[in-house]
């Protein structure tokens, strides 16, 4: 009785392990093969159960047939496994080979079963131990059996050779250890499966040796799936804690309550007993389904604490992205979200850097987590264009250097972030908990959340370009005002030249005392130095480049400006209002230059507006023009300076350059438009008029 119970327990554990490994999320090729490789062991346990408990020949026949097919199929599966682990090497021409390998066992198994005529399995095993007696009874079966042994041992030899050869590859330490574990465990397992009946049945107490061996290999498979990382705490709690407990509860309820009543219920309702039992089981599991889900979450949380509702946390964090404009602020926000709130052990946000030609972390003093722009990982991300699980893409890896980096930092998911067609950033996520993979619904939620990150990156890039454009326009303005200051510069140069010439003539034409000569020489030196400094300032100006104007959507440009200013306005508690009606407004002007004009005007207004002030932008269309009004309800511009605000270098700010409005006027004028400023008691109005496009 005890032996039968142990065999049933081993069979149940094997079935649970098969389901646990095969349904592991994310499903990959290796976990499927591991679960299939466990099936022959399960079949052998069932066969032993039949042989041990059989009183007739039918269960013996069933057990033998299952064992034959299970054992024969193990070797092609093991051979196929070596094509996927530790690196996927399956080619198109290999598929025909695998088709033959899997069809051949079916044929051999059918032939073995058809040629075997003996009714007594014990007699059969005795005949195999004494083959000279059995050859006379059924030489065909013995010949086929020998051919099958040679075939399966050949497959085993090739598989072992392939796995041993893989140790010469550039493997990770974890992968190398796993390969050795597979070799050490699967070689004896293969031989035991192949000669199981010959080894255990003839021996006295052979069933005990078999139970010990089967138990050892069940534990071996459990260790192996931990080594591969194919373990899910919810599945473990479900199959090894919840379901056995429910099964025990069902048996207890049936023995104590239902068994005495079932006969009465079956006779009263005119239904058969098996049908009634099936109905009771279905009803029990339907009622216990909510309880199973609650227990899964509770027990799973005890095994590995992690947020129960990732979807809720991500949905609350999504709107906050709209307020972020700086890449460092974005990195801090993501680190706080994934490390502190979602309890990930590892999270890295890597940005594209064309100078170093790498994706690297934005944070200072962070670990050196980076990979090249043109590396193998970047190429895979560009091809897949979605969130990638490391266990999936690791099988097809070639070089392994970047994979080793990801493995070292225990990265589970890689999230590519594309702006247009460029891979501008990458997020690296660790596992969400111990013995807990990322499930498909959670990955979908991550896809939705991370779809908003490229918008923030694009906004930051535009902001950087705006700053660079402002700096560029400042340099251009030096050239733009060159014509305006030429007369002043000529005057400044003419004066020192005149002084120098006069002093030189005086020294050359008259006899002067030494003190007078020294005074004139000092004048010449001082005026020469002043003129040299003026020329240096002029020569530092860059070469002027004319702006190219094109047809631009004015409404979109103004809207873009206000988006760039939203953070600044929020800090100053200034309200932004934009109105353009339902029409489309186009003008002939460079889009980036026009945004710069709007930024100059708006930033000046925000700086002088009080708290709860308002900055408005209104677009109106004329017959052949487009007018843009930028108004504020600030203190206004004094009358004595409003006529000078567009002059170069004129400013009322202590640290101002006086170039912003001058640049703006020049841009508008070059586009064939005009800009005017008006100051009233209600505030300031800038009107930009552009030719329609």
Tell me the per-residue pLDDT of 405-437, one tens digit each, with 9 for 90 and over.
Answer: 887 788 888 999 998 778 999 999 988 766 567
Burial of 14 (0-12, 13-18, 19+ CB in 10 A): buried
From residue 66, alpha-carbon distances to 41, 139, 417 in Å are 11, 23, 51
Tokens of residue 551, six digits: 């047809």
CA distance 239 to 24: 13
Average pLDDT over residues 93-103: 80
Cα angle value 170/172/178 (rounded, 5°): 110
Decide if 605 contacts 684 (C-beta within 8 A).
yes
Percent of the chain at pLDDT > 70 equals 71
At 130, the pLDDT band (50, 70, 90 cuts) reads: very low
DSSP lists the bridge partners of residue 588 as 551
Cα–Cα dist 320/680, whole Å: 38
Structure tokens at 179: 């390969």
**Six-digit token string for 361:** 């972390």
Helix/strand/coil for 24: coil
Q: Are 105 and 72 in contact (CB under 8 A)?
A: yes
- For the record, the structure tokens of 388 come out as 């990638």
- More confident call, 247 vs 677: 677
User: Is-contact 639 645, C-beta < 8 A?
Assistant: no
- pLDDT score recorded for residue 63: 61
Which helix (DSSP H) or strand (DSSP E) does residue 3 occupy?
A: helix 2-22
Tell me what pLDDT residue 305 has: 47
| Dist. CA 328–CA 360, nearest whole Å | 13
Angle between the N-to-C axes of helices 173-200 and 139-166, in degrees from 0 to 180, rounded to the nearest 10: 160
Mean pLDDT of 399-408: 75
State residue 688's pLDDT score: 92
* Longest Cα–Cα distance in the chain: 148
Q: How many CB atoms lie within 10 A of CB 105?
A: 22
DSSP-assigned states of every residue in 339-399: IIIS--S-EEEEEEETTTTEEEESSTT----EEETTSHHHHHHHHH-S-EEHHHHGGG-SS
Measured from the Cβ of residue 641, the count of other Cβ atoms closer than 10 Å reads 12
User: What is d(CA 288, CA 250) in angstroms, rounded to the nearest whole number?
Assistant: 11
Which sign does the torsion angle of CA 539, 543, 546, 548 carry? negative
- Enumerate the β-bridge partners of residue 348: 428
Taking each helix axis from N to C end, the angle separating 453-480 and 327-335, rounded to the nearest 10 degrees, works out to: 160
- Could you give the CA distance from residue 343 to residue 218 in angstroms, rounded to a whole number? 33
Ranking 35-49, 408-422, 630-644 by mean pLDDT, the lowest is 35-49
pLDDT of amino acid 544: 44
Angstrom distance (rounded) from CA 476 to CA 550? 19
**What are the residues whose beta carbons fall under 8 Å from the beta carbon of 287, sequence distance 6 or more?**
none
- Please tell me the distance from the alpha carbon of residue 115 to that of residue 206, in angstroms, as a whole number: 27
The yes-or-no verdict on residue 636 having pLDDT over 60 is yes
- Bridge partners of 382, per DSSP, are none
> In the chain, what are the domains?
2-231 (1.20.1070), 240-303 (no CATH), 310-451 (3.30.450.40), 464-539 (1.10.287), 551-691 (3.30.565.10)
Euclidean distance between CA atoms 552 and 621, whole angstroms? 14
Q: How confident is the model at residue 533 (pLDDT cuts 50, 70, 90)?
A: low
Q: What tokens appear for 639 in the block?
A: 């009358």
Q: What is the pLDDT of residue 127?
A: 43
Lowest mean pLDDT among 65-69, 219-223, 416-420: 65-69
Q: What is the pLDDT of residue 221?
A: 85
Residue 189 pLDDT more than 70? Answer: yes
Buried/exposed code over 340-373 (b: 16+ C-beta within 10 A; e: otherwise)? eebebebbbbbbbeeeeebbbbbeeeeeebbbee
Rounded-to-integer distance, Cα 591 and Cα 558, Å? 10
Split at pLDDT 50, 70, 90, the class of 135 is: very low
Phi, psi of 352 (to 5 degrees): -75, 130
Smallest CA-to-CA distance from 206 within 13, 46, 51 is with 51
Q: CA–CA separation, 486 vs 489, rounded Å?
A: 5
351 forms beta bridges with 360, 425
Residues 6+ apart with CB under 8 A from 483: none
- Highest mean pLDDT, choosing among 43-47, 209-213, 324-328: 324-328
Strand partners, 685: 631, 678
Q: How many CA atoms lie within 13 A of 407 on its CB side?
A: 16
pLDDT at 616: 92
The whole-angstrom separation of Cα 216 and Cα 622 is: 88
Parallel, antiparallel, or unpaired for β 551-553 and 586-588? antiparallel
pLDDT digits (tens, 9 = 90+) for 251-303: 777 667 777 777 777 777 776 666 676 677 677 767 776 776 676 666 554 54
User: What number of helices (H) and strands (E) belong to the chain?
Assistant: 26, 13
What is the pLDDT, as a whole number, of residue 526?
Answer: 64
| Residue 461 · residue 419 · CB < 8 Å | yes
* Cα end-to-end distance, the chain, whole Å: 94
d(CA 417, CA 330): 13
User: Could you tell me whether strands 388-389 and 411-419 are parallel, antiparallel, or unpaired per DSSP bridges?
Assistant: antiparallel
Strand bridging mode 683-691 / 625-632? antiparallel
Q: Are 615 and 655 in contact (CB under 8 A)?
A: no
Percent over 90 (pLDDT), the chain: 5
């Amino acid at each position: 009785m005890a032996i039968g119970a142990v065999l049933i327990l081993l069979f149940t554990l094997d079935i649970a392990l098969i389901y646990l490994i095969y349904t592991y999320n994310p499903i990959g090729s290796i976990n499927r093969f591991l679960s299939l490789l466990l099936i022959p062991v399960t079949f052998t346990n069932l066969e032993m159960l039949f042989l041990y408990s059989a009183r007739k020949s039918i269960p013996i026949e069933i057990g033998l047939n299952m064992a034959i097919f299970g054992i024969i199929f193990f070797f092609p599966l093991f051979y196929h496994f070596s094509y996927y682990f530790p690196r996927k090497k399956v080619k198109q021409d290999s598929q025909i080979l695998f088709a033959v390998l899997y069809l051949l066992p079916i044929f051999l198994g059918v032939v073995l079963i058809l040629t075997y005529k003996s009714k007594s399995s014990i007699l059969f095993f005795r005949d195999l131990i004494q083959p000279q007696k059995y050859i006379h009874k059924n030489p065909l079966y013995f010949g086929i059996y020998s051919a099958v042994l040679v075939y399966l041992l050949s497959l085993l030899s090739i598989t072992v050779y392939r796995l041993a050869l893989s140790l010469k590859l550039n493997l990770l330490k974890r992968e190398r250890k796993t390969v050795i574990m597979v070799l050490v465990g699967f070689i004896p397992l293969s031989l035991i499966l192949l000669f199981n009946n010959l080894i255990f049945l003839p021996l006295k107490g052979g069933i005990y040796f078999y139970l010990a061996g089967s138990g050892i290999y069940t534990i071996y498979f459990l260790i192996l799936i931990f080594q591969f990382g194919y373990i899910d705490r919810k599945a473990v709690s479900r199959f090894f804690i919840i379901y056995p407990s429910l099964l025990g509860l069902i048996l207890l309820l049936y023995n104590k309550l239902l068994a005495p009543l079932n006969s009465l219920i079956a006779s009263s309702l005119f239904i058969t007993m098996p049908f009634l039992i099936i109905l009771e089981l279905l009803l029990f599991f339907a009622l216990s389904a909510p309880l199973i889900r609650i227990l899964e979450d509770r027990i799973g949380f005890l095994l590995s604490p992690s947020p129960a509702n990732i979807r809720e946390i991500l949905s609350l964090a999504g709107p906050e992205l709209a307020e972020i404009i700086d890449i460092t602020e974005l990195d801090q926000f993501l680190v706080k979200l994934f490390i502190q709130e979602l309890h990930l052990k590892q999270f890295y946000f890597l940005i594209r850097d064309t100078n170093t030609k790498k994706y690297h972390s934005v944070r200072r003093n962070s670990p050196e987590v980076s990979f090249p722009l043109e590396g193998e990982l970047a190429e895979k991300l560009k091809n897949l264009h979605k969130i990638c699980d490391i266990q999936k893409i690791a099988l097809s890896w070639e070089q392994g250097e970047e994979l080793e980096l990801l493995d070292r930092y225990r990265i589970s998911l890689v999230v590519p972030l594309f702006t247009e067609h460029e891979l501008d950033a990458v997020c690296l996520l660790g596992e969400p908990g111990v013995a807990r993979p990322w499930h498909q619904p959670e990955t979908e939620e991550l896809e939705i959340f991370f779809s908003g990150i490229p918008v923030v990156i694009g906004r930051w890039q535009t902001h950087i370009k705006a700053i660079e454009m402002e700096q560029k326009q400042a340099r251009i303005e030096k050239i733009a005002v060159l014509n305006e200051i030429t007369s002043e510069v000529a005057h400044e140069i003419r004066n020192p030249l005149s002084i120098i010439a006069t002093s030189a003539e005086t020294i050359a034409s008259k006899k002067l005392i030494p003190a007078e000569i020294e005074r004139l020489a000092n004048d010449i030196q001082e005026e020469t130095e002043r003129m040299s400094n003026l020329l240096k300032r002029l020569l530092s100006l860059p070469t002027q480049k004319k702006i190219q104007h094109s047809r631009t959507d004015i409404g979109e440009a103004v809207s873009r400006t206000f988006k760039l200013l939203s953070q600044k306005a929020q800090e100053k508690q200034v309200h932004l209002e934009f109105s353009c009606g339902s029409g489309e407004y186009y003008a002939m002007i460079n889009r980036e230059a026009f945004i710069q004009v709007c930024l100059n005007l708006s930033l000046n207004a925000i700086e002088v507006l009080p708290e709860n002030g308002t900055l408005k932008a209104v677009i109106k269309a004329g017959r052949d023009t487009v007018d843009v009004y930028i108004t504020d309800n600030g203190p206004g511009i004094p009358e004595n300076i409003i006529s000078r605000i567009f002059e170069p270098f004129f400013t009322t700010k202590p640290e101002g350059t006086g170039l912003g409005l001058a640049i703006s006027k020049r841009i508008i004028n070059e586009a064939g438009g005009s800009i005017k400023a008006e100051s009233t008691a209600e505030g300031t109005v800038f009107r930009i008029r552009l030719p329609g496009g």
